[in-house]
Structure 1
Amino acid sequence: MELNLTGRDRHGTPDELATLSAVLIDGEEIFVDQGAIHGKSRVERGIDFRGASSADQVPDGQPVSIVWVTLKTYEQGRGFSGITAAQIVINKELKVGYKPMAPLVNQMDRAMKGKVDLSNLSGEQKGKLAHFLENLRADLWANTPDEVKAQLV
């Protein structure tokens, strides 16, 4: 799978959104899901987020991390720039969940501004994310500044 981050799409996406992708970490699984940008990722579909006002109100809820990833053109070429994470909590069996909109939107905005904030990911999750991004697009990884890569370990 290739990140669809190579420029404007046929709908004329504003430049600041043309480089945004969502990578989800759901337990052991990690994958790109552009639907998350509009709150319609595969893990969100069919889940009722209206009833819970906190993660504690989701019985046996499992965290799913949404990692916003942006690109930037550096001297050596396009590479990863902004990488931020936020979490939602879901009980797939009961089809209920908690989605804190402010952190999701704020982290998306920070990623689009080239910030890196993975403070709510575990060390293991950061390592998985680094491995995933490197293997997904080795060209982008090679052009990513070392200071960005260092925050993924």
Structure 2
Amino acid sequence: MDNQDKPVEKKKLSLNVVSGKEHRGFGAGSIDLSQVACVIIDAGEAYIDVGAMHAKSKIEKGIRFSPDKSTVPNGRPAWVVWVAVDRGENGSYYAGATSCEMLVDTEARRGWKLLPEHVNRLDAAIKRKYMLDNIGPAEKEALRKLLVEHNEEWWNNSPQTLKDLLA
């Protein structure tokens, strides 16, 4: 069997998730997502949904999203909140939190969200920023409750800035 008979294997591109290692090879500059959690806020309830990292959360499955808000006139508001966790001298804490709005019409299987906003806000959370300007008091309360219940020590170690944003 010569080389002409062998199937050619192509290298597949994928998102490389790297941890604290110095990395300069193929895929350098990849984003470390190991310390980011995905929270969904829907109908006043906040819950962790790891599927949101790949737009496959419970409420996103089976929904065709458009960047045109007018295509979802009966959509209910929901949010993806990217929460970054870091470790300081007192232990782990909620180091970044950014919210992204979307509309979901489950019955019509249509939705609205702006993918660039989701990417930019994920990046902001990774960079340890808090951007929760597009959620209301009920959503803030639900998020605060979830963060406290998930790990009260992390909440207690978190900066006052986050606590004030969710007060």
8 A Cα contact 2:103 2:112, kept in partner: yes
* Matched ranges for 1:4-83 at <5 A: 13-15=17-19, 16-49=32-65, 52-83=66-97
Q: Deviations over 1:25-46 (max 9, x none)?
A: 0112211001111111111111
State the structure with more CA Rg.
2
Q: Work out the number of aligned pairs and report it.
A: 140
8 A Cα contact 1:55 1:61, kept in partner: no
Q: Taking every aligned residue pair, what percent have the same amino acid on both sides?
A: 32
The alignment's TM-score, normalised by the length of structure 1, stands at: 0.86
CA displacement at 1:72 relative to structure 2: 1.1
Q: Which residue of 1 aligns with 2:161?
A: 147
Following the alignment from structure 2 to structure 1, what is the Cα–Cα distance between the partners of residues 18 and 84? 13
Following the alignment from structure 1 to structure 2, what is the Cα–Cα distance between the partners of residues 95 and 80? 33
Tell me the SS of whatever aligns to 1:124.
helix
Tell me the SS of whatever aligns to 2:101.
strand
Following the alignment from structure 1 to structure 2, what is the Cα–Cα distance between the partners of residues 130 and 58? 29
Q: Deviations over 1:63-89 (max 9, x none)?
A: 110000001111100100100000111
Tell me the SS of whatever aligns to 2:64.
coil
Tell me the SS of whatever aligns to 1:18.
coil
CA displacement at 1:99 relative to structure 2: 2.1
